[in-house]
Chain A
Amino acid sequence: MKKIALLYFLPFLIALTVVYYFSQNRSLNTFLFQEESMIKSDRHKPFIENFRDNSYYEGFFLKPDSVETIFILGSSELTETSVALPYNFISKNFTTPLRGVGHAGNQCFSIYTQLLANEKKLKDARIVIILSPGWFESKSSRGTTSPLFLEFNSDNFLNRILTAEPQNDFHQYAYKGVSHFYNEFSSPSLEIKLMNFHHQASKSFIHYTLYAPLICFDNYLLQQKRKLIPQYYTADEVVEHPVIASEQVHIDWDSLYQTSKEEATKKATNNSLGIADDYYTQYIHGNTGRMDPVSPAFNQELKDFNMLIDLLHKKQANASFIISPLNPLYYKNLKHLDPTVTMLEDKLKQNHFPYLNLFTTDIGQYEKPILHDVMHMSDYGWYKVNRFIADTYKLSK
């Protein structure tokens, strides 16, 4: 018996003790698990596609430098390459920097949780959100997808939502959203699990009783996780947003409009839809598109949008919106989206958020050079957006 204790139990106990020591040793854990991207810190990058590959950027999000920074959030249109894109044009022509975050699929719920994780920074924060009417129709109207949600909402951001005080309807909405696609995660993190449990527990007293021990246990584990690598978890903090100092910058918008319009027209010669030749040849071939509107009762994206606006309003963010255009010559039943766009406008008006609506279903009013394909803006479209941003935030005198 003594021999068994010496040869098996004692080494086992020693191994447990050593691993316990490892788990409590911060420098060892930092050495073992620190991500490369966390070491780098390029806060001046004008555009990032997501936070997953740029986690160092999380700490800078909505945090102004010495001068105020404007953040533009949106989806696929931000990944275009053009000097006219706001994060290129505004940053080049004004001292106020503008940073872009997003790529295809970064829809309302994803943006909502990113902002909720930074809610203390929202007061007076200058945020421009590009709304694509395409988000509110067909499949996209089901809301943000789970893989995309993970790209923009790290455990760090989710932890902030979980630990925010006091918890209110905004947090509950985030939990509900996560639990909506919870089954799609093959190995959910502790934070995602907790969000799901919180939502389940809120359903009834019986649910609460059943889930309370699990929540307590996971909270304890999360506490341990935070202790292991505290530098992974950056805290949300109240920040002062300096007033934008207007500059003596004169931009000849009319000339920019004229030149960019001519350029766009020159590129669209093999069709009457105003679509650039190469795109038309590759994807359109004389075909037309259709929109598949979804009623508001089943439109998850619309619900997410309303909640996003409520959050920005409640937190007094200095937000503005762009409703991007779609090509009415290509989408034959675009009129069916009119009621949805009207709802977006009404909500923005009710909450006094400035917005630029470039969406039109009227073929007579539609300016062909505004898009270079069926839904992405050309330089002409972007200059309109730039002017709106410059006027809204009074960048020039």
Chain B
Amino acid sequence: MKNNNIFRFLIHTVIYVVIAFFIYFLYNPLNKNSVTRSAISFVYQQF
């Protein structure tokens, strides 16, 4: 049971990191090839 939880923790960590990385990449204002560029503007528009 304990091992199972550790395994799930590791899987979740990897998935979360990958998702976070993609969000960072896609919404980064420096990413000129992305139509979702200007992450900072995106964040700002939420206010």
**Which residue of the partner chain, among B8, B16, B25, B28, contacts A12 with CB atoms under 8 Å?**
B16
**Which residue of the partner chain, among B12, B21, B31, B43, contacts A18 with CB atoms under 8 Å?**
B21
Contact across chains for A193 and B41 when beta carbons are under 8 A apart: yes
The residues in B between 32 and 47 inclusive whose CB is less than 8 angstroms from any CB of A are: 32, 37-38, 40-41, 43-44
Min C-beta distance of B4 to chain A, whole Å: 11
Contact across chains for B24 and A19 when beta carbons are under 8 A apart: yes
Contact across chains for A22 and B21 when beta carbons are under 8 A apart: yes
Distance in angstroms between the alpha carbons of A224 and B41 in the assembled complex: 13
Distance in angstroms between the alpha carbons of A214 and B25 in the assembled complex: 25
Stretch of A182-190, A236-244, A342-350, A365-373 that contacts chain B: A182-190
Distance in angstroms between the alpha carbons of A6 and B11 in the assembled complex: 12
- Contact flag A18-B17 (CB < 8 Å), given A7-B8, A7-B12, A221-B44: yes
Q: Mark A14-48, 1 if CB is under 8 A from B, else 0.
A: 11101100110000010011010000000000000
| Count of residues in B whose CB is under 8 Å from the partner chain | 25
Min C-beta distance of B43 to chain A, whole Å: 8
Chain A residues within an 8 Å CB radius of B16: 11-12, 14-15
A229 part of interface (Cβ distance < 8 Å) = yes
Where chain A touches its partner, the secondary structure class is helix
Residue of A nearest to B15 (CB): A11
Residue of B nearest to A52 (CB): B32
Contact across chains for B17 and A225 when beta carbons are under 8 A apart: no
Contact across chains for B13 and A229 when beta carbons are under 8 A apart: no
- Contact flag A19-B20 (CB < 8 Å), given A7-B12, A11-B12: yes
Min C-beta distance of A53 to chain B, whole Å: 12
Min C-beta distance of B28 to chain A, whole Å: 7
Chain B residues within an 8 Å CB radius of A33: 28, 30-32
Contact across chains for B44 and A187 when beta carbons are under 8 A apart: no
Distance in angstroms between the alpha carbons of A228 and B19 in the assembled complex: 20
Chain B residues within an 8 Å CB radius of A189: 29, 38, 41
Chain A residues within an 8 Å CB radius of B43: 221
Chain B residues within an 8 Å CB radius of A19: 17, 20-21, 23-24
Contact across chains for B9 and A23 when beta carbons are under 8 A apart: no
Contact across chains for A3 and B5 when beta carbons are under 8 A apart: yes
**Which residue of the partner chain, among B5, B23, B25, contacts A32 with CB atoms under 8 Å?**
B25
Min C-beta distance of A339 to chain B, whole Å: 43
Chain A residues within an 8 Å CB radius of B24: 19, 22-23
A283 part of interface (Cβ distance < 8 Å) = no
A8 part of interface (Cβ distance < 8 Å) = yes
Contact across chains for B21 and A10 when beta carbons are under 8 A apart: no
Min C-beta distance of A2 to chain B, whole Å: 10
Contact across chains for A232 and B30 when beta carbons are under 8 A apart: yes
Chain B residues within an 8 Å CB radius of A193: 41, 44
Chain A residues within an 8 Å CB radius of B21: 18-19, 22
Distance in angstroms between the alpha carbons of A228 and B25 in the assembled complex: 13
Chain B residues within an 8 Å CB radius of A188: 38, 41
Residue of A nearest to B40 (CB): A221
The residues in A between 164 and 219 inclusive whose CB is less than 8 angstroms from any CB of B are: 187-190, 193, 217-218
Residue of B nearest to A34 (CB): B30
Binding site for A on B (CB under 8 A): 5, 8-9, 12-13, 15-17, 19-21, 23-25, 28-32, 37-38, 40-41, 43-44
List 20 A-B residue pairs with CB atoms under 8 Å apart, sorted by A's residue number. A6-B9, A7-B9, A7-B12, A10-B9, A11-B17, A15-B13, A15-B16, A15-B17, A18-B17, A19-B20, A19-B21, A22-B21, A32-B31, A33-B30, A187-B37, A187-B38, A189-B41, A190-B40, A190-B41, A225-B30
> Lowest 10 CB-CB distances: which A-B pairs, in order?
A15-B16, A33-B30, A15-B20, A11-B13, A11-B12, A11-B16, A19-B20, A15-B17, A221-B40, A19-B24
Binding site for B on A (CB under 8 A): 3, 6-8, 10-12, 14-16, 18-19, 22-23, 29, 32-33, 35, 187-190, 193, 217-218, 221, 224-225, 228-229, 232
